[in-house]
């Protein structure tokens, strides 16, 4: 990997943009195999003191790393704009058919007073006509709001907010002007896929209409993922959810299905990584299916009313938190029509 | 969206929005499970599907091959192959989980007892999983065993199941000429219905081949000029810089025409020239492809060129000639290069020549479709002191530098109005973040789901052989007349240039 670097203190957005153009032009001249990646702009707003931690998370994202990364490092009391720009590429292999895909990274250090007008700083730094995604892992809602006119996608994690109701309200507000990719939602993806697969065989599809209880086990800080999962089931199966209430450490309540009530329960359980740990779905006939984290995939257990039990492993590797973030970046260019309805149902569940 | 996917979404409301759609519980039986294809491609593809959680929730794999060995021996071999050829480093727990679902049945392919043992093993798996598993028989053997296996499956009653779907995946080549293809099809017809049959052309599983359809039918700007009024000719190239390696036994029987043109390259012709299908349902896509293939007449003798490579230099290293390659019979007349001029005789394409060329030991590896547009009707610009206005070219590169490029005329900076061609490029590597799955991952999954869009239908294969068979017969009849040659590391034989008349091949 080789890298060209530019930096300046007390600079301006137009100077940074000019420097990027110069770096790119120099790269082209030096290396004919250089091709700048043109996937998306990713604007990350971070606390300056924690930007290394966020960059480490992005580095682990690997191949999903976006093409132009603009890091806005926010620092209380800062009055001048400092910036660093780099253009990096894999070392050239001068063989036919080889290209060196380049990535651009810009870091701009700003004071908190500039968050409200962040769009005027970021706008010149974006590649025109590319999709722009904004991620603010340390909050900075003012900065995110300032960038709304430039933003196509907002990457959020509703799990970061201890109060799911507030997290969902913010997500719904952002979803009015941009496409929202929610990492908490993505943590529930394998569970949604597996539940869909469980009820996919024609003999099982009828059982979807007779579900009468859903229990979701989640890590203590991952209530949002559990609520979104229940919201998803509700919207896909035509249930009308009602507000959940605290029952000990759990949240419990009902959704109204055509056949009657469906009991919903979210149970926090100790577990290593965030997200869901298990799901049990019971039908009116007394049959149930459970999925729980296990080695090499999810452990599935099917209990029949007559006491017969079957178990097997649904194969799949854990993606880990880096994988979730990578999936978030990748999902930015796709569209999942089921998130917004699930979010709205989730808002009812935690209202 | 294919019909299979649409039906699934209609009946299972939970699948909407999911990237990985559920696959029915399946027992996959690989015939030829100890062979090269199984170990280099199929098993690693299965591992990667398992890693991504894309395999059916209830999945079993039975390997069938002639060599005697135990389940554990076979599992060890599978592990070794997956570790060596998988596109990602295997996760031990997932790999263990996958291998836990693997069994082995040793049998000659014509031995009825072997099929009885297979039937027993499948029934036992049904009992263990508490439900009848769909059967997918993957024929990854030498082609002479395809009819044998299919007939034995019928004899053992394994070709149908009252409560589960039975599918048969047939590797290429589907026949070695028109007669053998039709003979094989007759056997297939006597055992399976067409909807149960999935003929593999792994090119169709490549993202960039599928992108030919996306490019043509998802962009308004190209379709209006995609016809004889605007296109001068089309060149489709499948060039390889490597020789035949250790495949002399197969390649000397096949040759370039059978190896690449009859299947992959004619599929590229079909995708390039087909009319837009109303939907991407398997039969609608294949109906349109068949219309193109049946509108192509077999080329006349002066519209075909064959040649064989002689010793030369490739990538700075000396390369043997074909006849010196290990395992090639002395005096072999097998062509390692083939070029054809074809025409699609329909309203859209009449008069537009389509040139195909493929070869081993050429100057570089490239597979591409080059569409050459007609020149502008009037030149208002100076050509003196510049290359001048050149007709536009649109290049769809399948490999290795996957993407699309368009050549445009642009003004050279300066005081004069001089023009030269410049390129506008889209490269997969710079525009998409995700790593493309191997073609076999997509194809195995589609076969298990019953989606035949990316598989060739019987009438496609028949139409392909109908174009190629007369050439094979003619070449066979004139084997004694000597074969043109080309030096390894070059762009091919001089005779291929004559095929184009006043036009020229694109530089490799």
- Rounded to whole angstroms, how far apart are CA atoms A15 and B322? 60
Residue B192's pLDDT band (cuts 50, 70, 90): very high
Confidence of residue B381 (pLDDT cuts 50, 70, 90): confident
Decide if pLDDT at B385 tops 90: no
Shortest distance, CA B223 to any CA of chain A (angstroms): 24
pLDDT of residue A331: 85
Residues B409-419: b if buried by 16+ CB within 10 A, e if exposed: beeeeeeeebb
| ipTM above 0.95 for this complex | no
A 80-109 → B contacts, CB under 8 A:
96-99, 101
Confidence of residue B2 (pLDDT cuts 50, 70, 90): low
Q: Is B102 on the interface with A (CB under 8 A)?
A: no
In this prediction the pTM is 0.89
User: Is the CB of residue A297 less than 8 Å away from at least one CB of chain B?
Assistant: yes
User: Residue B75 — pLDDT band, cuts 50, 70, 90?
Assistant: very high
Beta-sheet strands, E only, within B46-187: 59-65, 102-106, 134-139, 166-170
* Interface membership of B131 toward A (CB under 8 Å): yes
Residue A202: burial class (beta carbons within 10 Å; 0-12, 13-18, 19+):
exposed
Rounded CA-CA distance B120/A346 in Å is: 49
B275-301: pLDDT as tens digits? 999 998 899 999 999 999 999 999 999
Measured distance CA(A276)–CA(A266) in Å, rounded: 10
**Count of CB atoms situated within 10 Å of the CB of A146:** 22
Write the CB contacts of B86 (distance below 8 Å, at least 6 apart in sequence): B44, B47, B48
Residues of B in contact with A185 (CB under 8 A): none
Say if A320 is an interface residue toward chain B (CB within 8 Å): no
Cβ–Cβ gap A97/B365 under 8 Å = yes
Give contacts of B131 with chain A, Cβ < 8 Å. 201, 203
Alpha helices (runs of H) in A31-123, residue ranges in sequence order: 51-59, 118-122
What the block records as the tokens of B96 is 């263990």
Whether the Cβ atoms of residue A347 and residue A169 lie closer than 8 Å to each other: yes
CA distance to partner chain A, nearest, from residue B304 (Å): 28
- From the list B51, B159, B202, B264, the catalytic residue is B264
B56 inside 8 A of chain A by CB: yes
Q: Is the pLDDT of residue B66 over 90?
A: yes
User: Pick from A150, A158, A139: which is nearest to A177 by CA?
Assistant: A150
Question: Which of helix, strand or coil describes residue A308?
Answer: coil
Give pLDDT tens digits for A261-292.
Answer: 999 999 999 998 899 999 999 999 999 999 99
- pLDDT level of residue A62 (50, 70, 90 thresholds): low
How many angstroms away from the CA of A81 is the closest CA of chain B?
Answer: 31
Taking the Cβ of residue B25 and every Cβ of chain A, the question of whether any pair is shorter than 8 Å is answered with yes
* Averaged confidence pLDDT in chain B: 92
Query: CB of B245 within 8 A of CB of B366?
Result: no
User: What would the pLDDT profile of A2-12 be if each residue is shown by its tens digit?
Assistant: 788 999 999 99
Residue A147 has pLDDT above 90, yes or no: yes
Chain B hits for A63, Cβ within 8 Å: 433-435
Please name every residue paired with B105 in a beta bridge, in sequence order, or none if there are none: B64
Is residue B5 over pLDDT 60? no
Q: Cβ of B364 and A96 within 8 Å?
A: yes
Question: Tokens in use for B111?
Answer: 């031995």
Q: CB–CB of B456/B270 below 8 Å?
A: no
Q: How far apart are CA A319 and CA A332, in angstroms?
A: 17
- Does the pLDDT value for residue A140 go beyond 70? yes
| Contacting residues of B for A66, CB less than 8 Å apart | 433
Tokens of B112: 């009825």
Report how far residue A184's alpha carbon sits from residue B47's, in angstroms, rounded to the nearest whole number. 27
Query: Active site includes B101?
Result: no
Distance of CA B479 to the CA centre of its chain: 28
* pLDDT tens-digit map of B452-474: 999 999 999 999 999 999 999 99
Alpha-helical regions (H) of B327-374: none
Report pLDDT for B3. 54
**Could you tell me which residues come within 8 angstroms of residue B135 by beta carbon, excluding any fewer than 6 positions away?**
B26, B27, B29, B122, B158, B161, B164, B165, B166, B167
Nearest to B56 by CA among B154, B148, B129, B3: B129
- Cβ-based neighbour number of residue A63 at 10 Å: 10
Put simply, whether B125 touches A (Cβ < 8 Å) is no
State whether residue A41 sits within 8 Å of chain B by CB: no
Contacts B47 to A, Cβ<8 Å: none
Say whether B14 and A237 touch across the interface (CB within 8 A). yes
Q: What's the rounded mean pLDDT across residues B187-212?
A: 93
Q: Which residue has the tokens 């036919």?
A: A96
Q: Which residue of A has its CA nearest to B93?
A: A296
HSE (side-chain half, CA atoms, 13 Å) at B208 = 20
- For residue range B392-441, what is the model confidence (pLDDT) as tens digits? 999 999 988 788 999 998 888 888 888 888 888 888 877 776 667 889 99
Chain B residue with Cα closest to A98: B401
């Amino acid at each position: 990997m080789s890298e060209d670097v530019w930096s300046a203190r007390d600079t301006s957005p137009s100077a940074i943009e000019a420097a990027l153009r110069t770096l790119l032009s120099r790269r082209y001249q030096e290396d004919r195999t250089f091709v700048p990646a043109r996937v998306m702009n990713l604007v990350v707003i971070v606390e300056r003191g924690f930007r290394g931690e966020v960059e480490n998370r992005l580095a682990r994202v690997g191949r999903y790393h976006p093409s132009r990364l603009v890091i806005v490092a926010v620092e209380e009391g800062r009055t001048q704009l400092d910036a660093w720009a780099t253009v990096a590429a894999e070392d050239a292999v001068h063989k036919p058919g080889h290209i060196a895909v380049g990535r651009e990274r810009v870091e701009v250090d700003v004071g908190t007073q500039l968050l409200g007008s962040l769009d005027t700083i970021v706008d010149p730094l974006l590649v025109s006509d590319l999709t722009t995604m904004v991620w603010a892992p340390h909050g900075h809602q003012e900065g995110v709001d300032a960038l709304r006119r430039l933003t196509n996608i907002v990457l959020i994690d509703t799990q970061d907010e201890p109060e799911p109701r507030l997290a969902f309200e913010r997500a719904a507000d952002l979803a009015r002007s941009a496409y929202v990719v929610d990492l908490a939602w993505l943590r529930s993806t394998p569970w949604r896929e597996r539940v869909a697969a469980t009820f996919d065989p024609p003999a099982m599809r009828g059982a979807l209409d007779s579900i009468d209880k859903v229990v979701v086990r989640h890590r203590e800080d991952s209530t949002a993922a559990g609520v979104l999962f229940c919201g998803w089931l509700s919207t896909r199966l035509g249930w009308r959810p009602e507000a959940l209430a605290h029952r000990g450490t759990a949240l419990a309540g009902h959704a109204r299905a055509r056949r009657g009530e469906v009991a919903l329960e979210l149970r926090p359980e100790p577990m290593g990584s965030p997200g869901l740990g298990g799901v049990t779905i019971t039908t009116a006939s007394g049959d149930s299916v459970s999925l729980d984290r296990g080695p090499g995939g999810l452990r599935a257990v099917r209990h029949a009313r007559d006491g017969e039990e079957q178990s097997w492993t649904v194969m799949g590797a854990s993606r880990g938190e880096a994988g979730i973030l990578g999936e978030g970046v990748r999902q930015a260019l796709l569209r999942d029509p089921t998130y917004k309805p699930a979010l709205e149902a989730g808002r009812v569940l935690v209202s | 969206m294919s019909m299979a996917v649409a039906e699934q979404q209609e009946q299972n409301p939970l699948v909407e929005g999911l990237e990985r759609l559920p696959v029915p519980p399946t027992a996959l039986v690989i015939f030829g499970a100890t062979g090269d294809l199984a170990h280099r491609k199929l098993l690693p593809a299965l591992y990667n599907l398992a890693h991504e959680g894309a395999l059916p929730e209830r999945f079993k794999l039975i390997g069938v091959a002639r060599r005697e060995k135990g389940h554990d021996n076979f599992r060890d071999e599978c592990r070794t192959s997956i570790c060596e050829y998988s596109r990602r480093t295997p996760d031990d727990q997932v790999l263990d989980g996958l291998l836990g679902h693997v069994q082995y049945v040793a049998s000659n392919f014509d031995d009825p007892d072997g099929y009885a043992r297979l039937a027993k093993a499948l029934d036992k798996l049904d009992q263990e999983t508490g439900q009848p598993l769909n059967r997918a028989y993957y024929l990854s053997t030498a082609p002479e065993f395809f009819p044998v296996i299919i007939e034995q499956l019928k004899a053992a009653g394994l070709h149908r199941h009252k409560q589960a779907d039975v599918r048969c995946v047939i590797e290429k080549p589907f026949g070695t000429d028109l007669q053998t293809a039709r003979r094989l099809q007759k056997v297939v017809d006597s055992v399976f219905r067409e909807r149960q049959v999935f003929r593999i052309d792994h090119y169709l599983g490549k993202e960039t081949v599928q992108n030919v359809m996306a490019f043509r039918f998802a962009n308004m700007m190209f379709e209006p000029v995609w016809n004889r009024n605007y296109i001068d000719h089309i060149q489709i190239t499948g060039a390889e810089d490597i020789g035949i390696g250790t495949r002399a036994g197969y390649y000397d029987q096949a040759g370039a025409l059978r190896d690449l043109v009859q299947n992959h390259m004619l599929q590229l012709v079909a995708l390039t020239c087909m009319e837009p299908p109303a939907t991407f349902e398997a039969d609608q896509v294949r109906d349109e492809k068949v219309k193109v293939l049946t509108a192509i007449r077999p080329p006349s003798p002066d519209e075909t060129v064959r040649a064989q490579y002689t010793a030369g230099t490739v990538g700075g290293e000396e390369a043997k000639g074909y006849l010196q390659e290990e395992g090639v019979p002395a005096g072999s007349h097998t062509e390692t290069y083939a070029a054809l001029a074809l025409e699609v005789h329909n309203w859209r394409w009449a008069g537009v020549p389509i040139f195909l060329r493929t070869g081993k030991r050429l100057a570089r590896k490239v597979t591409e479709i080059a569409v050459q547009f007609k020149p502008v009707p009037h030149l208002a610009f100076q050509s003196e002191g510049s290359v001048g206005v050149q007709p536009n070219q649109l290049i769809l590169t399948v490999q290795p530098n996957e993407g699309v490029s368009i050549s445009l005329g642009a003004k050279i900076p300066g005081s004069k109005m001089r023009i030269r061609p410049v390129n506008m490029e889209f490269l997969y590597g710079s525009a998409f973040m995700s790593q493309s799955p191997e073609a076999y991952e997509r194809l195995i999954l589609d076969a298990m789901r019953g989606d035949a869009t990316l598989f060739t239908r019987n009438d496609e294969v028949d139409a392909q052989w109908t174009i190629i068979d007369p050439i094979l017969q003619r070449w066979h009849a004139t084997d004694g007349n000597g074969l043109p040659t080309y030096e390894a590391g070059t762009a091919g034989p001089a005779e291929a240039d004559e095929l184009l008349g006043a036009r020229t091949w694109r530089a490799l």
